[in-house]
Structure 1
Amino acid sequence: MSKVKKGVLLINLGTPDSPAVPDVKRYLIEFLMDGRVIDIPAWRRTLLVKGIIVPFRAPNSAKLYREIWDSQTGSPLLHYSKVQRQLLQQQLGADYHVELAMRYQNPSIPKALANLKRLNVDSIRIVPLFPQYASATTGSVIEKITEEIRDWPTFPALSVANHFYDNELMVEVFVENAKKHRPETYDHFLFSYHGLPVRQLLDVDGSGKHVCDQAGCRERIDGLNKFCYVAQCYATTRLIAGRLDLKTDDYTVCFQSRLGKTPWIQPYTSDVLKEAAAKGKKRLLVFSPAFVADCLETIYEIGTEYATEFKELGGEKVQLVESLNDHPKWIAALEQLARGELSGWPKSESLTL
């Protein structure tokens, strides 16, 4: 009789099946129709996404995806995610079975869960691949999985690694990748995170009135703001900056990829580029610690768009620090997360379903 396996489900955000406009359109619709991503009434979201955003954005996004699409491996995000799954499976061994899914598009969450159900695993460890918790990412993953398994007659033991913003091995990878670019040759450092609407932070402490400036989210993380995305982003930044001996004046935390006219977390990366150029900064080293694999937001948005914008402003160079990708220490961090052995400063917490 074969030994019962423990299941591990890695989940990243998603990617189109191809850079063709119809595939990009399909991806954008599924992504932007998620009520945790655009958190407005469903009828308004439908009009906005299907009537305005996607028809205009899909052709342009398809062009951008073509810029980063590899003729052999396809989407960088999917490629590195597959490699991460394979290497993690090797690390965990035969007692575990590792599945990979994307929150949007393929490989799908329903298919991955069906595979784990078929194997009759005795537990499933869910690892959303987002270092900092946000309702629009990790929260959406948890909601989707709950919806998919609610009719299962029996449930294996379920647990979720709901954040790992302070994982020591993850921090070490970003530090090692930065050192490849000789940080001493740069005159300023940016930590550019994916943006969120400010309104999505209001209830991170259960009050519905959370305000980062009042809670000190940019200076510390504690029991009151531990689920705040901003607090976790700044905490990750302090850990990386500390390992590189950076002073607070040496770096700026900023947020990219905003959508629409409602207030998003500030400062915006595009504004910080302008401020850096105005102060005479010439060479910027840019981290993007909200991502565990290089993707459109890192390779193109930072590596191409921001680099071009900064040069037009009088700067000389924007250098992206590579993401975690297939670094051996990141695979070791994934093993910690998969086994529930979370390592950080202080210890990360695990949410059990």
Structure 2
Amino acid sequence: MSERAILLANLGSPDAPDTPAVRRYLNQFLMDPYVIQLPWILRRLIVSLLVLPTRPKSSAAAYQSIWWPAGSPLIVLSEQLRDAVQAEVAMPVHLAMRYGNPAIESTLLEIATNPAIKEVVYLPLYPHYADSTIATSIDEAERVIEEHDLDLKLIIPAPFYQEPDYIDALYQQSLPYLSQPYDHLIFSYHGLPESHITGSDPSGAHCLQRQDCCQQPHPAHATCYRHQVMATTQAFAKKAGLAQTDYTVAFQSRLGRQVWLGPNTEDILTQLAKEGARNVMVMCPAFVTDCLETLEEIAIRGKEVFVEAGGESLTLIPCLNVHPAWVSTLAKWLRQA
């Protein structure tokens, strides 16, 4: 019997596309100190007074617009990925969500019921490092192991933002779309407040201190989300033979009044339409699984913004999901971890 198990961890989703379920989900998500990086009392005030009174209703409507008969797209696709990887590896493969269900805690407790399992290859399903994705996921897994005194050791692969096999999987997934006529390609990455970028810089003197900080080699890049998404973009563009004028990097999903990474995706969509672009492609490499941020924010709302500004069509290039190249790549990494 294997002494290792695999645990794939994704972000999570409400249990249902209704206001009470979304309220519970948003409360858990936004009260994470890795997400809103403020003292607990300020976080509690912001979430309770400014977010939870109104946002759950509008977010529930957004979830309803993309919900599948089988459930949340993110959950369903993540389950399909788990099953596809399981078919290629001998180790038992589990799935957990940082927020919502199945929870990291309950999943690790389930794994620990098998006394033969001593190590868990723990892979947060994010290509790029950020405190609000990878760090919080690892921290939660470590908390569970310590709190329950589990005899488990975590083996955590490094972020894979520029691994050649990951770039190749992205390319293979996007090729049928990029082979069609289009005017411009947008790489739309999940946004972060600039304070998250500077806060993760161990030197405190590199990230966002100069315009070309992401291009200048520095130890801070090991935990710099902005550098890593730029590296993904450059590697993909080279693989796909894209010129710099063929694409734009933008950031989506802003929340609150902090200064966020820019430019904003919706602003770029408006600008491109006004400049004469009629058909745009959008890919979202920060996500390996299609979710609210891709299916609703880009494919529905982003398209509306683009068309209202004079564009004609916006095509969302799907995330990796269960593309065979991605499944085989993931399985290979997990076997070698």
CA distance in 2, matches of 1:110, 1:215: 41
CA distance in 2, matches of 1:102, 1:156: 19
Whether 1:270 and 2:270 are equivalent positions in the alignment is no
Verify the 8 A CA contact 2:201 2:207 in the aligned structure 1. Answer: no
Alignment of 1:299-314 (within 5 A): 299-314=295-310
- Which residue, out of 198, 201, 211, partners 2:207? 211
Aligned length in residues: 336
CA distance in 2, matches of 1:75, 1:153: 33
CA distance in 1, matches of 2:301, 2:149: 50
The match for 2:112 is: 117
CA distance in 2, matches of 1:221, 1:244: 24
- Which residue, out of 24, 40, 43, partners 1:42? 40
Whether 1:105 and 2:100 are equivalent positions in the alignment is yes
Verify the 8 A CA contact 2:288 2:319 in the aligned structure 1. Answer: yes
The match for 1:58 is: 56
The match for 1:351 is: none
Verify the 8 A CA contact 2:145 2:152 in the aligned structure 1. Answer: no
Per-residue CA deviations over 1:63-122 (Å, capped at 9, x if unaligned) read: 110111112x111100010011111111112xx111100000100111110011111212
Alignment of 1:283-294 (within 5 A): 283-294=279-290
2:95 alignment partner AA: L
CA distance in 2, matches of 1:237, 1:24: 32
Whether 1:202 and 2:161 are equivalent positions in the alignment is no
Whether 1:189 and 2:185 are equivalent positions in the alignment is yes
- Which residue, out of 58, 75, 78, partners 2:75? 78
Give the match's secondary structure for 1:92: coil
Going from structure 1 to structure 2, the CA distance change for 1:180 and 1:252 (only over 3 Å counts) comes to: same
Verify the 8 A CA contact 2:130 2:225 in the aligned structure 1. Answer: yes
CA distance in 2, matches of 1:31, 1:152: 23
Alignment of 1:16-27 (within 5 A): 16-27=14-25
Whether 1:148 and 2:144 are equivalent positions in the alignment is yes
Runs of 4+ in 1 over 4 A off after TM superposition: none
Verify the 8 A CA contact 1:169 1:332 in the aligned structure 2. Answer: no
Going from structure 1 to structure 2, the CA distance change for 1:277 and 1:221 (only over 3 Å counts) comes to: farther
Decide which moves more: 217-226 or 234-243. 217-226
Give the match's secondary structure for 2:287: coil
Residue segments in structure 1 that go unaligned for 5+ positions in a row = 342-353
Whether 1:334 and 2:326 are equivalent positions in the alignment is no
The match for 2:255 is: 259
Verify the 8 A CA contact 1:83 1:326 in the aligned structure 2. Answer: yes
Whether 1:31 and 2:26 are equivalent positions in the alignment is no
The match for 1:348 is: none
The match for 1:349 is: none
Decide which moves more: 261-270 or 328-337. 328-337
The match for 1:345 is: none
Decide which moves more: 201-210 or 267-276. 201-210
The match for 2:230 is: 234
Identity fraction in percent: 37
Deviation at residue 53 of structure 1 after TM alignment: 0.5
TM-score by length of 2: 0.95
Deviation at residue 210 of structure 1 after TM alignment: 3.6
Per-residue CA deviations over 1:130-189 (Å, capped at 9, x if unaligned) read: 110100000000111121111344633321124111132322232223221244511111
Deviation at residue 218 of structure 1 after TM alignment: 4.1
CA distance in 2, matches of 1:160, 1:220: 27
The match for 1:91 is: 88
Whether 1:296 and 2:307 are equivalent positions in the alignment is no
Going from structure 1 to structure 2, the CA distance change for 1:109 and 1:245 (only over 3 Å counts) comes to: same
Deviation at residue 204 of structure 1 after TM alignment: 2.7
Going from structure 1 to structure 2, the CA distance change for 1:239 and 1:41 (only over 3 Å counts) comes to: same
Going from structure 1 to structure 2, the CA distance change for 1:104 and 1:221 (only over 3 Å counts) comes to: farther
Per-residue CA deviations over 1:283-330 (Å, capped at 9, x if unaligned) read: 111110000111110011110111111011011111111111111111
Deviation at residue 207 of structure 1 after TM alignment: 2.0
Verify the 8 A CA contact 2:193 2:261 in the aligned structure 1. Answer: yes
2:202 alignment partner AA: G
CA distance in 2, matches of 1:154, 1:27: 27
Verify the 8 A CA contact 1:203 1:210 in the aligned structure 2. Answer: no
Going from structure 1 to structure 2, the CA distance change for 1:221 and 1:176 (only over 3 Å counts) comes to: farther
Going from structure 1 to structure 2, the CA distance change for 1:154 and 1:176 (only over 3 Å counts) comes to: closer
1:92 alignment partner AA: V
- Which residue, out of 119, 122, 130, partners 1:134? 130
Verify the 8 A CA contact 2:9 2:95 in the aligned structure 1. Answer: yes
CA distance in 1, matches of 2:8, 2:186: 28
Verify the 8 A CA contact 2:172 2:325 in the aligned structure 1. Answer: no
Give the match's secondary structure for 2:165: helix
CA distance in 2, matches of 1:312, 1:221: 41
